[in-house]
Amino acid sequence: MGAIFWKEMTDYLGSRRFVVLLAFIALSGVYTVFVAAQTIRADVANAPTEMVFLRLFTTGAGLLKPSFVTFVGVYGPFIGLALGFDAISGERSRRTLGRLLAQPVYRDAVINGKFLAGAATIGLVFLTIFLIIGGMGMRLLGYPPGFQEIAFMAVFLVVSVLYITFWLGVAILASVFFERPVLSALVSIGLWLFFSLFILMVARSIADFAVADTSTLEQQIRHGSIQGNAMLFSPVYLFREATVTLLTPTATQVATMLLSPLGPYSQITPSALSLHQTMLLVWPHLIALVGLTVVTFTIAYIRFMREEIRT
């Protein structure tokens, strides 16, 4: 599997499509942080003094200048999709699959190697972006992050990588099922649309079905809670909730949380949380993200292992 892993990793890092995408993500990401730093500096008198570094990731200025977290949540999946959509379908359309599988490698080494190489690439990319942001943050804010902040950032890094790796899994799944890379790309983008947008409607329908009458406050709360929980089936909202919890331990944004589609039950307590307490809160989200990735990849794996190879 080593040979496949390294070949795929080299391919990923060297491919034009990836370099373009990486430049886009890195530049935009850095830009969001720059805007955030400007906002924080402009408002330095009113701002809380705790965990300022984390606010680099969460401070946005309206729809056109989203925060880094929002940016990763919305556009990050494309890194995963771009890496995975032609994993298997590309081998088929280039007609290299038969030749590859005729070499003395186990068939699962092919799909595992591609998946791990993709995950490693994602990790590398995010580590790089985070280091750039760290350096920028120090310069723009004028002081280095404390231990607590570094720890929160590290967990955020892990959550981001897991999140994008889920999308890598989705893309590989599509690439196993569809012969043509174009179709595979379209289908994976379709899944992204579903989990980002349509899940809202689905969750609302489920909530409407469960709580038909929302005349009392209690029923409204139940309705909201059901909707919120249904949306957690989408990794997009899992990621959003986990990162908001992680990056706003001071809970300065309780107000916005209450207004968010996740509803008032989003677990925010109005005082700064320790890393330990935060981990307790985001642990289920992490497990769910990993679980969804495992399920997605397992389906792809089984399908690929059972496939009849017709060169």
Partner 1 sequence: MTTQVSDGTQAIEARKLTKRYDGFVAVDGLELAIEPGEVFGFLGPNGSGKTTTILMWLGLTEPTMGEALVWGHNATREPIQVKRIAGYVPESVGFYEDLSARQNLIYTARLNHIPRRQAEEAIHRAMGYVGLGEVADKKVGQFSRGMRQRLAIADIMVKEPRVVFLDEPTLGLDQEGVNRVMELIQRLSQEQGITVVISSHQLHQVQQVCRRVGIMSRGRMVALGTVEELGQALGTQGLMVDIEVEGWDEALLADLRRVDGVEHVDAAERFITVRCQPQTRPSLARAILDRDCLLVQMRSKDLTLEEIYLRYFTGGEDK
What does the binding site for partner 1 look like in residue numbers (CB under 8 A)?
A: 3-4, 6-7, 11, 15, 94-96, 98-106, 308-311
Of 276 and 310, which CB lies nearer to partner 1 in the complex structure? 310
Q: Which is nearer to partner 1, 121 or 243 (CB)?
A: 121
**Is 26 or 101 the residue whose CB approaches partner 1 more closely?**
101
> Which of 207, 247, 210 is closest to 228 using CA atoms?
207
CB of 124 to partner 1, least distance (A): 20
Residues 218-230: b if buried by 16+ CB within 10 A, e if exposed: eeeebbbbbbbbb
**Least CB distance to partner 1 at residue 101 (A):** 6
Output the CA–CA distances (angstroms, integers) from residue 258 to 31, 76, 245, 269, 298, in the order listed. Answer: 28, 25, 13, 12, 36
Q: Which is nearer to partner 1, 91 or 241 (CB)?
A: 91
For 62, phi then psi, to 5°, come to 80, -175
Query: Which ranges in the chain belong to alpha helices (H)?
Result: 2-14, 16-42, 52-58, 68-75, 77-84, 89-93, 97-101, 107-141, 147-177, 181-193, 199-210, 217-231, 235-247, 254-259, 275-306
Q: Which is nearer to partner 1, 3 or 23 (CB)?
A: 3
Contact criterion met (CB below 8 Å) for 199 and 231: yes
Dist CA 298 CA 292 (whole Å):
10
Task: Quote the least distance from Cβ 9 to partner 1, whole Å.
Answer: 13
In angstroms, what is the minimal distance from the CB of 12 to partner 1? 12
Q: Please, which residue, 109 or 221, has the CB nearer to partner 1? A: 109
Task: Give the CA distances from residue 194 to residues 163, 168, 245, in Å, rounded to whole numbers and listed in that order.
Answer: 16, 16, 24
The C-alpha atoms of residue 38 and residue 18 are separated, in whole angstroms, by: 30
Shortest Cβ distance from residue 14 to partner 1 (Å)? 8
Residue 100 CB, shortest distance to partner 1, in Å, is 7
Which CB atom, from 258 or from 309, has the smaller least distance to partner 1?
A: 309
Query: Which tokens go with 77?
Result: 């999946």
The CB-of-289 to partner 1 minimum distance in angstroms stands at 32
Instruction: Count Cβ atoms within 10 A of the Cβ of residue 55 and give its class: 0-12 exposed, 13-18 middle, 19 or more buried.
Output: buried
